Amino acid sequence: MHAAVYRGASLVEIEEVPTPAIGPGEILIRVEACGICHTDLKKIEHNLLAPPRIFGHETAGVVVAAGSAVTKFRPGDRVVAFHHIPCMDCFYCRHKLYAQCPVYKKVGITAGFEPAGGGFAQYVRAMDWIVERGVEKIPDGVSFERATLVEPLNTCLKAVTQADPQPDEFVLVLGQGPIGLMFTMLVRRTGARVAATDTLAERLAISARCGAELTWDPRTVDVAAEVKKLTGGRGADFVVVAVSAPGIVEQAIACSRPGARILLFAQTSAVERIEASGADICVGERTIFGCYSASVDLQKESARLVFGGELPVEELISHRLPLVKIRSGIDLALHPGSNSLKIIVQPQRWS
Residues 6+ apart with CB under 8 A from 28: 19, 20, 22, 63, 64, 65, 66, 123, 124, 125, 126
Residues 22 and 103 in one domain: yes
Residues 208 and 78 in one domain: no
Q: How far apart are CA 41 and CA 215, in angstroms?
A: 27
pLDDT at residue number 271 = 82
Residues 113 and 135 in one domain: yes
Residues 245 and 270 in one domain: yes
Residues 93 and 143 in one domain: yes
pLDDT at residue number 46 = 87
pLDDT at residue number 319 = 97
Judge whether 304 lies within some domain: no
Q: How far apart are CA 11 and CA 181, in angstroms?
A: 29
CATH of residue 82: 3.90.180.10
Give the domain extent around 266. Answer: 155-290
CB atoms within 10 A of CB 49: 14
pLDDT at residue number 247 = 93
pLDDT at residue number 294 = 97
In tens digits, the chain (351 residues) has pLDDT values of: 999 999 999 999 999 999 999 999 999 999 999 999 989 998 998 888 999 999 999 999 999 999 999 999 999 999 999 999 999 999 999 999 999 999 999 999 999 999 999 999 999 999 999 999 999 999 999 999 999 999 999 999 999 999 999 999 999 999 999 999 999 999 999 999 999 999 999 999 999 999 999 999 999 999 999 999 999 999 999 999 999 999 999 999 999 999 999 999 999 888 889 999 999 999 999 999 999 999 999 999 999 999 999 999 999 999 999 999 999 999 999 999 889 999 999 999 988
Judge whether 295 lies within some domain: no
Residues 172 and 136 in one domain: no
pLDDT at residue number 48 = 86
Residues 30 and 128 in one domain: yes
Residues 142 and 160 in one domain: no
- The tally of domains found in the chain comes to 2
Is 37 within 8 Å of 152 (Cβ atoms)? yes
Judge whether 299 lies within some domain: no
pLDDT at residue number 272 = 85
CATH of residue 190: 3.40.50.720
Residues 221 and 342 in one domain: no
Is 163 within 8 Å of 261 (Cβ atoms)? yes
Judge whether 75 lies within some domain: yes
Judge whether 285 lies within some domain: yes
What does 237-284 look like in DSSP terms, one character per residue? Answer: EEEEE-S--TTHHHHHHHHEEEEEEEEE-S---TT------HHHHHTT
Judge whether 303 lies within some domain: no
Residues 96 and 212 in one domain: no
pTM, two decimal places: 0.96
Judge whether 306 lies within some domain: no
Residues 167 and 139 in one domain: no
